[in-house]
Amino acid sequence: MTVYDINHRTKQKPPLLLNRDTRGLVLRTSPLRFVEPNRSIIWDRCGLLKVEESTQKIREQKSPHLFAIIPFSSDMDDVYYLGIHETARALGCSCDKVDQIEFVGPILDKIYDSIKNSRIVLAELSTPNVNVYYELGYAHALGKPTILITKDISASPFDVRGYNHIVYSSIRDLRSKLKARLEAILTQVRGTTTK
């Protein structure tokens, strides 16, 4: 919604919205009101202005988001759906990978956005894949908590081998090890213990 849209919708003279920038919105109310970017301006049935937490912020607080960086291969479907996705959901995390998300625009922009907006990033490194390594490097540069999983630690390149990996032999093994690791990370992310 643009500055014009908000001012036109409220039909207030002088305009309701004074400024919009990366820090938020400045509303002409009595007194002046600053609206942070993580809040949404909505109108109720009577046309009255309300400011609320955005649904994304509320969702993040209730359900930390895990973004999975995994090669596009049908060989990885069971690893993702049965090992990663089900385990994350059981612990109250939302979880997805880029080929599950509907979006418009370049795929790299969506990958960058998904990594940036996730609370936790998981990378599957069993099969050498330059795209996975590149995206993992981006997650590391952003300081995201990362979980690295692999069937064979020797398949990981030298630069990544020094990080803690979950080495798994089966989906059952992955689920139990991932559950323990996610619980530890969620304790840090949420600031409380998980059940």
Q: What is the pLDDT of residue 56?
A: 47
Q: What is the pLDDT of residue 24?
A: 53
Region for 25 from its dihedrals, namely left if φ exceeds 0, alpha if ψ lies in -120 to 50, beta otherwise:
beta
Average pLDDT over residues 110-116: 93
CA dist 96 and 87 (Å) reads 12
E-only strand ranges, the chain: 17-21, 24-27, 33-35, 39-43, 49-53, 65-69, 94-96, 120-124, 146-150, 165-167
Q: What is the pLDDT of residue 40?
A: 52
Span(s) in the chain for CATH 3.40.50.450: 63-190
pLDDT, tens digit (0-9, with 9 covering 90-100), for 134-160: 999 999 999 999 999 999 998 888 889
Scored b (16 or more CB within 10 A) or e, 99-119 reads eeeeeeeeeeeebeebbeebb
Mean pLDDT of all residues belonging to the chain: 78
Q: What is the pLDDT of residue 80?
A: 95
Q: Is the pLDDT of residue 114 over 90?
A: yes
For residue 123, which of 21, 28, 7, 159 has the smallest C-alpha distance?
Answer: 159
Identify whether the C-beta of residue 144 lies closer than 8 Å to the C-beta of residue 131.
no
Q: Does domain 63-190 have CATH number 1.20.140.10?
A: no
pTM: predicted TM-score of the whole model, two decimal places: 0.66
